[in-house]
Amino acid sequence: MINLFRTELYKMFRSKSFWVILIISTILGVMMSQDGKARVAKDEIISISFYCTCILTLFPILLGALSFGNDFINRTINNEVCAGHNRLKIFFCKVIVYFIGVNFIILIAPFVNLILNYSLHSIHQEFISEGTILIKTFIITALLGMAASSVIIFIAFIFRDVGKTVGISVFMYILNIQMLGSSSIKTTVLRFLPLSQMRLILYRPLIKGQFEEAGLVAIITIIFFLSGSYFCFKRAELR
């Protein structure tokens, strides 16, 4: 299993598409968050720095489609199964490495934004005083990013194709973003979507119990869609 994990990690970091996606998402995320305000209130810094994360979840769609879709098209997964590797171990290694890539894609831009915003607006003591909220924001955003990406994994294992995975995932992403823009996510069932939770944890003043709710939504979503993905993988005939 260690060798499988190392192989998948090596493949991802050697992939040109991963680095292109990472660079573009980081540049876009930083540009979106630098709105040119002369002064930003101290309780807005984290919200402004992480505001881009919802939009950046578009990029894990491309990474997931290319990673899983190409592995099916090129028969990489088929060959691993035929070589006698356990399907659960194959699935686990590919998912963990993909989640590592997802967190790079959606968290580097907020990290850069935090440094820029705290520096540009000369707010240094608040960086320390809000440390707990900042750590929670990073952790929950990472979990929600993995939750949103677990849906992409599910689609990839159903269709086992790059084009269909990208098309369906992008359609669902656009639909989700439009619903967030047209509805009150605080009071409707849309609040239980991972992207909705990404926005709600940035509301100021903080909603009581929001981090806990977001973490629960993320974990349930991950378990549900990864279970469905593995079920599809286990039943698939791969020769």
Distance CA 18, CA 100 (A): 11
Which segments in the chain show pLDDT lower than 50? 38
What is the reported pLDDT for 37? Answer: 52
- Give the tokens for residue 21: 């996606």
Report the distance separating Cα 76 and Cα 113, nearest Å. Answer: 38
Q: What distances in angstroms separate CA 83 from CA 69, 87, 93, 238, one per listed residue? A: 20, 11, 16, 11
Give the per-residue pLDDT at 209.
Answer: 83
pLDDT value at residue 161: 84
How far lies 219's CA from each of 122, 174, 188, 204, in Å? 36, 23, 20, 24
At residue 104, the pLDDT reads 95
Q: Are 142 and 136 in contact (CB under 8 A)?
A: no
pTM over 0.85: yes
